[in-house]
């Protein structure tokens, strides 16, 4: 019987791998699964889709672990694969997404503590939201963010600048009586 979810496939694959490969991947998985899943959930505006995309991307990373582990930013590769998978999924399903319920996200990682900030973040388009999430939630460098998104570092900087301006404008409008 074939496992039906990406998480189940990853679990089966991990147990079938040579111990030296599985242990290296296990360390990577334990360190990066939750932060990448949260970043994808915030970027996509859908908690379940973010976690499913991360599971799918982690499965693919495991299948190619010999190559992926040599990358400068393997977590960036996982983020990018997860984001691409989710976008393809959404195109196929033509599904309408909503803001993630931040209460359901893992609490061990930083999240916007101000609900107004979370709403303002959700109002950003995905390209701008993903830059903010990767730079500030995951604390990735401009180069790591650019690599994960497949764009130039200058694009990251310009998107970040525009996103922060929009967030500031949105928050200022909220505070104006």
Q: Per 3-state DSSP, what percentage of the chain is helix, strand, and coil (rounded to 5)?
A: 75, 0, 25
CA–CA distance, 12 with 102 (Å, rounded to integer): 30
Count of structural domains within the chain: 1
Phi and psi at 46, nearest 5°, equal: -150, 110
CA–CA distance, 172 with 34 (Å, rounded to integer): 32
CATH of the domain at 87: 1.20.140.160
Higher pLDDT, 153 or 172: 153
Beta strands in the chain (DSSP E): none
Asked if residue 68 has pLDDT above 90, the reply is yes
- Tell me the CB-side half-sphere exposure of residue 174, using CA atoms within 13 A: 13
Let me know if residue 1 belongs to a domain.
no
Q: Render pLDDT for 85-109 as a digit per residue (tens, 0 to 9).
A: 998 988 887 644 445 555 554 444 4
Let me know if residue 37 belongs to a domain.
yes
- The residue-averaged pLDDT of 60-88 equals 93
Quote the percentage of the chain above a pLDDT of 90.
49
Do residues 167 and 121 lie in contact, with contact meaning Cβ atoms separated by under 8 Å? Answer: yes
Tokens of 130: 């993903």
3-state DSSP call for residue 73? coil
Range of the structural domain that residue 49 is part of: 6-175
Please give the distance of CA 70 from its chain centroid, rounded to a whole number: 20
CA dist list (Å): 96 to 3, 119, 133, 167 = 27, 17, 21, 23
- What's the pLDDT at 37? 95
Judged on CB neighbours under 10 Å (0-12, 13-18, 19+), 162 is middle
- What's the pLDDT at 174? 77
Q: Render pLDDT for 6-24 as a digit per residue (tens, 0 to 9).
A: 555 555 455 555 555 566 8
Let me know if residue 135 belongs to a domain.
yes
Q: Render pLDDT for 21-53 as a digit per residue (tens, 0 to 9).
A: 566 899 999 999 999 999 999 998 889 999 999
- What's the pLDDT at 119? 82
The conformation of residue 64, written as its DSSP 8-state character, comes to T
Let me know if residue 120 belongs to a domain.
yes
pLDDT band at 3 (very low <50, low <70, confident <90, very high): very low
């Amino acid at each position: 019987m074939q496992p039906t979810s990406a998480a189940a496939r990853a679990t089966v694959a991990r147990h079938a791998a040579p111990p030296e490969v599985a242990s290296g991947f296990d360390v990577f998985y334990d360190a990066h699964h939750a932060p990448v899943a949260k970043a994808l959930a915030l970027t996509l505006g859908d908690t379940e889709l973010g976690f499913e995309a991360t599971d799918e991307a982690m499965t693919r990373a495991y299948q190619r672990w010999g190559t992926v582990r040599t990358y400068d930013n393997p977590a960036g590769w996982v983020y990018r694969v997860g984001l691409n998978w989710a976008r393809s999924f959404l195109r196929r399903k033509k599904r309408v997404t909503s803001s993630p319920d931040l209460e359901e996200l893992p609490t061990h990682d930083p999240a916007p503590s101000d609900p107004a900030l979370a709403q303002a973040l959700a109002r950003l388009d995905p390209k701008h939201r993903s830059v903010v999430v990767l730079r500030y939630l995951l604390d990735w460098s401009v180069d790591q963010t650019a690599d994960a998104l497949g764009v130039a570092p200058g694009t990251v900087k310009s998107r970040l600048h525009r996103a922060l301006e929009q967030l500031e404008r949105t928050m200022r409008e909220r505070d104006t009586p």
